[in-house]
Every structure is written in C-alpha cells, then in structure tokens.
C-alpha cells in the first residue's frame, strides 16, 4: 500500500492489497465466531439446563472469561503452537489458522455466557410446557436453542465484535506478515508505529464501516427470519 494516499482513496480505487487485508480480517473473525458458536452455544445451553455441583462457580467463571485479555490469550496460544510447544508439530504459528484458534478462545466464552443467560430465561418461562412435552435432555436443549435463535444472533454479533476489534492476540500468533497474516487491526497498529497516522485513522474508519455493515446484515437477516417465523 502506498502510504501517501488516504485509505478512502484506497477503498475507492479498489486497492488489491487493502481488499486482501479486509478479506483476511473477515475470514479470520467469522471463522472464529463459527467455531466458537459450535462450542459455545451447546455448552451455554447445557449449563443453563443442568444442575451440577459447582454450577454457580462455573457461571461466574464463564462470565469472567468474557473479559479474557487478548494479549494473554495470544501469549498462551503462541506458547502452545510454537515449534517448542505442545502443538508445535501442526506448524500453525504465524498462519491465519493460529489467529482463528486465538480468536476462538476469546469468543467462545462470550457466546457461551450469553447463550446460558438467554436459554435460562426461556427455560424459566417455558419450563412447564417443555416438561409436559416429555422431551429428553437433548430434545429440550434443541427446542430451547431453536426458540432462542433470534436472540442468539446478538450473542454471535457480540462475539464477532470482539474478534474484529482485537489486535493483541492475533499480532502475537499471526506475526503481522504482509500479504499473509496482516489484518485491519494489525495494519492499523503497524501504520501507527510507522508514524503514518492519517493512513491508520483511515484504515480504522474502514474497519468500523465493515463492522457496521456486518451488524446491519445480521439485523436484516434476523428481522426477515422473524417475519417468516411469524
């Protein structure tokens, strides 16, 4: 990217390097949200509907994990994926795969905690009907997740917001390699360190625009879904 033109000009002129960065950012964050949802939604729903020893403690811990510091997660994932670490043989460090792993760790507790709250509220509301329907535990979880599907979009968006905004974890495990692991946020950090503040601000505005666009899409999809479902 030439740094003597504004980011807006880069967008308007369809700069391929910028588009590659935007694409990678979306790819990493969306993949992390998908993986985190596959872990977090069932886990959250299970905690909501199950009584076990230490449940209160688990809920407090899960809520606290929503605030995991990205730089600590980045460091932990770095040590795990390093060639000298336990998962080094996968050769994931300094690849987009490592960034997805780190962001999944950050996002999964958010989705799990918000799912737990949503499902638990629904469960209190529909407890009698669901008990009367004589569903097994899996049937109950599935029925409640289905009923909560529109509210869960908000949980996914909260997770996406966290992933798209963070830089601390992915800059450590991705290495901010040009054309390979450089995302919007790591590019902003780099341009700031090069003293090119206008370009950094321009990239920041592009990032905010993309986050708003993703949220608008999700909102539209949710509204359309609600209308279809009556």
Site residues, other proteins (CB under 8 A):
3, 24, 27, 30-31, 34-35, 82-85, 88, 91, 93-97, 100, 175-178, 180-181, 190, 192-197
**Which residue's CB is nearer to other proteins, number 70 or number 97?**
97
Whole-angstrom CA distances from 26 to 18, 20, 53 are 12, 10, 40
Q: Cβ(23)–Cβ(187) under 8 Å? A: no
Q: Distance between CA 161 and CA 208 in Å, rounded?
A: 10
**Which residue's CB is nearer to other proteins, number 62 or number 186?**
186
Among 196, 223, 165, CA closest to 1: 196
**Which residue's CB is nearer to other proteins, number 94 or number 123?**
94
**Which residue's CB is nearer to other proteins, number 8 or number 177?**
177
Taking the complex as a whole, how short is the minimal distance between the CB of residue 95 and other proteins, in angstroms?
A: 7
Taking the complex as a whole, how short is the minimal distance between the CB of residue 196 and other proteins, in angstroms?
A: 5
Taking the complex as a whole, how short is the minimal distance between the CB of residue 161 and other proteins, in angstroms?
A: 19
Taking the complex as a whole, how short is the minimal distance between the CB of residue 174 and other proteins, in angstroms?
A: 9
Taking the complex as a whole, how short is the minimal distance between the CB of residue 201 and other proteins, in angstroms?
A: 12
Instruction: Assign residue 176 a region (left: φ > 0; alpha: ψ between -120 and 50; beta: otherwise).
Output: left
**Which residue's CB is nearer to other proteins, number 15 or number 63?**
15
- Helix crossing, 96-132 with 149-165: angle to 10°? 160
Taking the complex as a whole, how short is the minimal distance between the CB of residue 54 and other proteins, in angstroms?
A: 32
DSSP letter (8 states) at residue 4: S
**Which residue's CB is nearer to other proteins, number 62 or number 93?**
93
Taking the complex as a whole, how short is the minimal distance between the CB of residue 198 and other proteins, in angstroms?
A: 8
CA-based end-to-end distance of the chain: 49
Among 31, 203, 27, CA closest to 107: 31
DSSP letter (8 states) at residue 195: T
**Which residue's CB is nearer to other proteins, number 59 or number 75?**
75
Whole-angstrom CA distances from 103 to 27, 97, 152, 179, 219 are 12, 10, 19, 20, 23
Q: Cβ(152)–Cβ(144) under 8 Å? A: no
């Amino acid at each position: 990217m030439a740094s003597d033109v504004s980011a807006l000009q880069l967008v308007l002129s369809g700069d391929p390097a910028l588009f590659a960065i935007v694409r990678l950012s979306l790819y990493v964050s969306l993949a992390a949200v998908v993986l985190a949802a596959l872990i977090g939604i069932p886990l959250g729903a299970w905690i909501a509907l199950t009584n076990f020893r230490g449940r209160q403690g688990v809920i407090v811990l899960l809520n606290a994990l929503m605030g995991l510091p990205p730089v600590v997660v980045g460091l932990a994932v770095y040590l795990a994926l390093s060639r000298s670490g336990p998962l080094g043989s996968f050769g994931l460090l300094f690849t987009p795969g490592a960034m997805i792993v780190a962001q999944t760790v950050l996002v999964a507790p958010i989705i799990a905690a918000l799912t737990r709250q949503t499902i638990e509220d629904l469960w209190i509301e529909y407890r009698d009907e669901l008990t009367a329907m004589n569903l097994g535990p899996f049937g109950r979880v599935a029925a409640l997740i289905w009923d909560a599907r529109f509210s869960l979009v908000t949980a996914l968006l909260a997770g996406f917001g966290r992933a798209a905004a963070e830089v601390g974890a992915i800059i450590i495990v991705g290495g901010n390699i040009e054309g390979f692991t450089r995302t919007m946020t790591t590019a902003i950090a780099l341009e700031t360190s090069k003293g090119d503040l206008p370009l950094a601000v321009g990239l920041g505005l592009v990032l905010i625009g993309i986050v708003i666009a993703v949220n608008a899409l999700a909102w539209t999809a949710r509204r359309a879904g609600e209308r279809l479902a009556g």
